[in-house]
């Protein structure tokens, strides 16, 4: 079996990481615009890749690479800069971006929330407060009304594991809180917002919507592929402490209508009915397996290459995440993020020779091909990221892009990996 003819070969980004224009055309600050001393080297996302002004150039590069899809997020603070106020300039930007994509033959995949909460929403309590549910739905309604005539694919949230747990428990992401004793309330608010948003999109979208959510998915590669090994792997992926926190804590309520142990006393039967509003696919953001966290002695990380952020590179993990998510939740899968950070530089010949990412693409896409060959419905693959960008608290050091960005001049250069990916797309994966 080969990749379907309509397979969505693409790449991904997020508004706060690429757009810049942080205070232009009516946009209000997000919680990341005011992150200040939390970001390395005193850097900010205020300019980032200046995609807001350079989107036509960026879409032209996507077209040159042959992308079939582009996953991006809409900036809530650009659309709703004040409570109850819609910013026409913000809507205009996304209408123009989507028109540019459609003219280039590229399918827009829209993420409605990728971490850039408006500062005014944070001041109203953020995910701590149940008020955020209605604020979010008001924003979603505006976006769907404005864009759904040209957009079919919607994701309600990107990685709630990060914007709840890292942001409100460990304090590692904006707004850098430690709500250790109350974070289950935050999770309930997010899950209810998701379910109600799915219902709203389904009811009001102009084109028949395809709705999902993008999860920071990390599963356990089986120690053996016999029945016992597969059973043990699934247990570690969804029922261990790491597995629950990464996967089932969110997806069991969403896709199965049941709460795991951590939320059992927090979610009512009525809550679960709302949260489990049917979705069309699950997006998995996959970077490394959970084996190093669960089986430190049995999984030899020393023998494997690593990214500049210290993440293990093991292409098998993408296959097992796709398979295990499909076997547990019985929904089509889209790889909504997969990539690696590397300290890429432009050589004297003007080229960016990122051989490690070329091999990364081959290894991880071979995993996707295995899943497709086994009949698992995989809708597409969105590489993270289309271009180097602002990597949250790490600033601009880690480079994830298929396109190199010189942050001093904003010059774009397609890397060797971008050229290699273009050839994979051209052959629809037949060269893997």
Catalytic residues: 159, 337
Alpha helices in 350-430 (DSSP H): 355-373, 416-426
- Residue pair 10/69 in contact by the 8 Å Cβ criterion: yes
Q: Is 274 left (phi over 0), alpha (psi -120 to 50) or beta?
A: alpha
The encoded tokens of residue 402 equal 């298929």
- Tell me how far the alpha carbon of residue 59 is from its chain's centroid: 19
Task: Return the sign of the alpha-carbon dihedral for residues 68, 62, 173, 343.
Answer: positive
Identify the helix (H) or strand (E) that includes residue 241.
helix 241-243
The encoded tokens of residue 66 equal 């042959």
Q: Cα(7)–Cα(276) distance, rounded to whole angstroms?
A: 27
End-to-end CA separation in angstroms for the chain: 13
Candidates 382, 387, 384; CA nearest to 412 is 387
Q: Cα(331)–Cα(4) distance, rounded to whole angstroms?
A: 17
Those residues with Cβ within 8 angstroms of residue 226's Cβ, 6 or more apart along the chain or in another chain: none
Identify the helix (H) or strand (E) that includes residue 101.
helix 88-103
Candidates 82, 69, 68, 94; CA nearest to 15 is 94
CB atoms within 10 A of CB 382: 28
CB atoms within 10 A of CB 375: 9
- Residue pair 198/279 in contact by the 8 Å Cβ criterion: yes
- Tell me how far the alpha carbon of residue 323 is from its chain's centroid: 19
- Residue pair 135/189 in contact by the 8 Å Cβ criterion: no
Q: Cα(315)–Cα(159) distance, rounded to whole angstroms?
A: 21
The encoded tokens of residue 313 equal 């590179």
For 355, counting Cβ atoms within 10 Å of its Cβ (0-12 exposed, 13-18 middle, 19+ buried), the class is: exposed
Q: Point out which residues pair with 413 in neighbouring strands.
A: 404
Q: Cα(23)–Cα(359) distance, rounded to whole angstroms?
A: 39
């Amino acid at each position: 079996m080969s990749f379907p003819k309509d397979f969505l070969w693409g790449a991904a980004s997020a508004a706060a990481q690429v757009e810049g224009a942080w205070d232009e055309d009516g946009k209000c600050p997000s919680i990341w615009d005011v992150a200040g001393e939390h970001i390395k080297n005193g850097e900010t996302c205020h300019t980032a890749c200046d995609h807001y002004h350079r989107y036509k150039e960026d879409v032209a590069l996507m077209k040159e690479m042959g992308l079939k899809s582009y996953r991006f997020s809409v900036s809530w603070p650009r659309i709703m800069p004040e409570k109850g106020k819609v910013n026409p300039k913000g809507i205009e930007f996304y209408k123009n971006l989507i028109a540019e994509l459609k003219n280039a033959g590229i399918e827009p995949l829209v993420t409605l929330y990728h971490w850039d909460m408006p500062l005014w929403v944070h001041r109203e309590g953020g995910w701590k407060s149940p008020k955020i549910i209605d604020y979010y739905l008001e924003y979603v309604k505006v976006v769907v009304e404005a864009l759904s005539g040209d957009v079919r694919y919607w994701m309600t949230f990107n990685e709630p594991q990060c914007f709840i747990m890292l942001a409100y428990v460990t304090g590692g992401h904006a707004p850098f809180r430690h709500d250790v004793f109350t974070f289950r309330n935050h999770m309930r608010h997010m899950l209810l917002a998701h379910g109600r948003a799915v219902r709203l999109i389904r009811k009001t979208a102009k084109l028949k919507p395809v709705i999902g959510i993008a999860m920071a998915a990390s599963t356990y590669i089986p120690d053996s592929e016999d029945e016992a090994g597969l059973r043990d792997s699934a247990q570690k992926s969804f029922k261990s402490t790491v597995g629950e926190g990464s996967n089932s804590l969110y997806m069991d309520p969403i896709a199965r209508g049941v709460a795991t142990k951590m939320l059992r006393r927090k979610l009512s039967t009525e809550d679960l009915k709302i949260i489990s509003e049917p979705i069309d696919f699950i997006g998995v953001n996959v970077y490394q397996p959970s084996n190093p966290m669960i089986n430190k002695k049995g999984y030899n990380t020393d023998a494997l290459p690593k990214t500049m952020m210290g993440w293990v590179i093991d292409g098998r993990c993408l296959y097992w995440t796709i398979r295990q998510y499909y076997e547990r939740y019985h929904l089509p899968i889209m790889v909504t993020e997969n990539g690696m950070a590397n300290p890429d530089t432009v050589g004297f010949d003007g080229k960016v020779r990122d051989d490690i990412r070329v091999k990364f693409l081959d290894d991880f896409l071979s995993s996707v091909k295995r899943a497709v060959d086994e009949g698992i419905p995989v809708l597409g693959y969105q590489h993270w990221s289309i271009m180097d960008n602002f990597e949250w608290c790490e600033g601009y050091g880690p480079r994830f892009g298929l396109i190199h960005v010189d942050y001093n001049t904003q010059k774009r250069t397609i890397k060797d990996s971008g050229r290699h990916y273009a050839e994979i797309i051209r052959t629809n994966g037949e060269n893997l």
